[in-house]
Amino acid sequence: MFIIAKAKGSVKGMIRENKINLTKNKNMLKEKINEFYLSNQKDRTQNRFFISDAGKCHRQIFYSFKNAPKKPIEPNFLRLFDLGNHVHQMIMRSLLNIKGIRVVAAEINIPPHGIISGRADAILSVDKEFYVLDIKSMNSRAFGYLNEAKEDNVLQLRLYLYYFKINKGILLYMNKDDLRLKEFIVDSDTKQVEKLLGELNVLREQIDSNTLPSRLSDYPKNWRCRYCNFSSACKAIHK
Ligand code: SF4
């Protein structure tokens, strides 16, 4: 009798204790996971252009080179990047096992070049034709509106086509919420790429001479300004 009573008391005590602990530590994992993502964040000063800079605001890239103060990236965005990497792996696993598709190379750096660096997801051979593959992931809302490849993505893929001397590329988009796919074939466009490289050369000179590029012509309405990590620095200088 005594033992049962003691046990009951002990269980109640444990429940009471656990309730307190659960209340106290209800964000224990969330905080630790957030810390993990924040501490693994690569926050190096930029010293060369990346393919992903194609289509970006030049002032934003300038700030990145100058390591200007910026809004920290929230842990949920860092997890989204991580999820994007898993999406890539999932797609590549299927491509490697599909008859008729040859993965010629995966995660391949563009040939060394002075001004820009980048890594393509894959080069594929389908029906004896080569394609550069670029995999993107997005949420349902953006995916629903996607009737054609996004302009910046096309430009980035064309840079890969230019450096790999391949005529066609594929932009493959995955909806992160329901894993549906959409794809778009992109043709190379040497003129457009050379124009972009010319603009990047001008930007490089501005960076080297500490000349701040102008804001986007439709600042602050442009969607890029809404998501820009350097918006405070940009707002502070009226130019
Ligand atoms: S706020 Fe807009 S104009 Fe200013 S740096 Fe950012 S993207 Fe460019």
CATH number, domain containing residue 153:
3.90.320.10
Let me know whether 123 and 217 are in one domain: yes
**Max CA distance (Å), the chain:** 90
230 Cα: distance to centroid of ligand 1 (angstroms) = 7
This prediction has a pTM of 0.83
41 pLDDT higher than 80:
no
Span from the CA of 209 to the centroid of ligand 1 (angstroms):
20
- 130 and 14 in a common domain: no
The string of pLDDT tens digits covering residues 147-161 is: 999 999 999 999 999
Minimal-distance CA residue to ligand 1 atom 4: 234
Q: Which residue has the higher pLDDT, 114 or 30?
A: 30
Average pLDDT along the chain: 87
Whether omega before 220 lies within 30 degrees of 0, making that bond cis, reads: yes
Q: Is residue 44 part of a domain?
A: no
Query: What is the arithmetic mean of pLDDT over 115-136?
Result: 95
- Residue 80 is assigned to a structural domain of this protein: yes
Q: Which position has the higher pLDDT, 25 or 128? A: 128
DSSP state of 114: S
Q: For ligand 1, pick from 228, 232, 238 the residue to mutate: most ligand atoms within 8 Å of CB.
A: 228
Atom of ligand 1 nearest to the CA of 220: 2
In terms of domains, do 183 and 77 share one?
yes
The ligand 1 atom at the shortest distance from the C-alpha of residue 231 is 1
Of 80 and 119, the structure prediction assigns the larger pLDDT to 119
Q: Is residue 123 part of a domain?
A: yes
- Which pLDDT value is given to residue 15? 43
In this predicted structure, the answer to whether residue 39 has a pLDDT above a threshold of 90 is: no
- Asked whether residue 97 falls in the same domain as residue 210, the answer is yes
- Per-residue pLDDT, 115: 86
17 and 99 share a domain?
no
Task: State how far the alpha carbon of 191 is from the alpha carbons of 46, 143, 155, 159, 194, in Å.
Answer: 27, 29, 11, 11, 5
For residues 228 and 68, what is the distance between their CA atoms, to the nearest angstrom?
12
Predicted pLDDT at 36: 85
Q: How many domains does the chain have?
A: 2
Give the range of the structural domain holding residue 19, as residue numbers without chain letter: 2-39
Q: Specify whether 111 is located in the same domain as 198.
A: yes
Does residue 106 sit in the same domain as residue 34?
A: no
More confident residue, 33 or 203: 203
